[in-house]
Structure 1
């Protein structure tokens, strides 16, 4: 309970930002004669998840151009929870999915706070949660999508790694691997941290005092989890990939195409990993006319900002599992070959990229950081309402 009390300011601030975003969405949807609830629960990917929950796997759509969109592309943990929720309550699968996402977003906020608090202190932890909340695509955290659930599992797995709870880290990484394909980033973080700790052995370093309110207060030397017995780390490493590997192998068996069958399913959606070539072409095509050239410049600036944030994370000495996790999530998001409009959403789980911003805000006066975050929250709420009321999927 002490850990929860410590996180209360962050969770209250997060809830306030999400309520602001939902109010803006309700007003914007009413102005467009749309249902905000439908946008949150029964559009785009939400429909695919509820169909898995209600009908199981095997449903697909064949497009006029020959592409096959199969629901096998969607990992099963969220649909399982939706089905469970509808089985034990009067809720529909879509309604249950929204409840799962709401609870998962709070769990994600708490996990992000726990990680940032452990590394940089309480003030930075609060700021990290609020920066994550006010992302331009933050409204997705309130949708019946899997991003909130995945981020919660990833954040708590990383926290377990940082605090030497290897079995917990492996179990949560396995669940993250059942949630989204990018779960391999959590697996890699667990493996990298466990391997590095085995090499380093026991050591000590200065970490923020849990009772300090700023990153510069109360430094103390404590034993790091490197000195833990070998078997918990080995078992954590063994558990971590089971979720992702199990689902991918099952899809391969289901499709009759072997271990790489899931890649064929993704190819039906014209999605894959091409090192960023398709995205670069997409950006380049923006410069064919003046209005779209502005969007192209914005995309280049956005990618440059992401790279700068990651370099800053490295320079600030973030722990290895955070760097591995954020690096892989970022690479997979930027280098996917399709659904370019969804890249900001795909980057949302990479919360360690936000820690440099959170650290900078934590060093400001409270009034100044509140002003910055408040203004950004309003802008994010307005943008989220405009975005979801548009024609394309988030």
Structure 2
């Protein structure tokens, strides 16, 4: 197969529209050639991962600075979480050196016209594609949510390829941009009690572990909130690399059905919880908001914390997007949370902040957070409901 380019795309590739655009088009066309695409297609929005200086380092920052010299976004482009709250980082224990470097990263993106949202839930704060729309998103949980819950079409982009799509307004037509690659490959019947976000995270852990990168079709889930679905997306993408699932009666995409069905029971979810609960976990860090908390979740947490105090020796982060934090301030939730001794942290996430060595045990409602806390920070972990996490913080 030959990748055919339009005259405008050829001009980008020749450098006629700037050095950064040329480099971006080189990335896009190389991916297209590797995966057998025959053309490039326009995208309407981009979500870029690889924002925390903790992950990027100086080499990544140098690359961004070069691209920012003449690169400019052509479509709505938002950012994944940074390694800190960009305004209130000092009171969260972030060092001056890290803060300076993190600000340089965000400023480089801003020079290219990227909307510096710094959230893993762009669909909650304005980057909301419609059904059937082609997009180019990084951030595994957001990709899964966009493909599955919204019905948009995106591959699981990396940071550089997402930035390349932003600077060209294009992506190669392959993978999940083609309907024939979006059909279910394995079927699960869920026979378990699903009522809270941690339950859905555990379900994602089980299905992700069993499924790998295949596309699951899931039955037996009778209802789910946005918060529960984002928890499931984060977990199933983390533990298995799932970028698209079908959930009978709850997701909009059409699909053919696999013949064989496997059952997931309450015992499977209980085992997943057991696997994420470390023995002798000395909990000193409680974090909710992985993926970023919605205004609904923040309001519920504020009601639990109202008039209470976080226990000595415990640190509480509720992580969210900056626009959601601003709304929480208007609603009075921010003051309630902070007066209790907890922190409403914008822009950041416990998975990408420089936390190694600061804490020993994490309590969270997020199966994804458990995965990264163990792997990156060597924390012991426990997973509970949001309410149980907050109650533990004040006990």
Same fold (TM over 0.5): no
TM-score, normalised on structure 2? Answer: 0.27
Larger strand percent: 2
Larger RCO (CA under 8 A, 6+ residues apart): 1
Larger helix percent: 1
TM-score, normalised on structure 1? Answer: 0.27
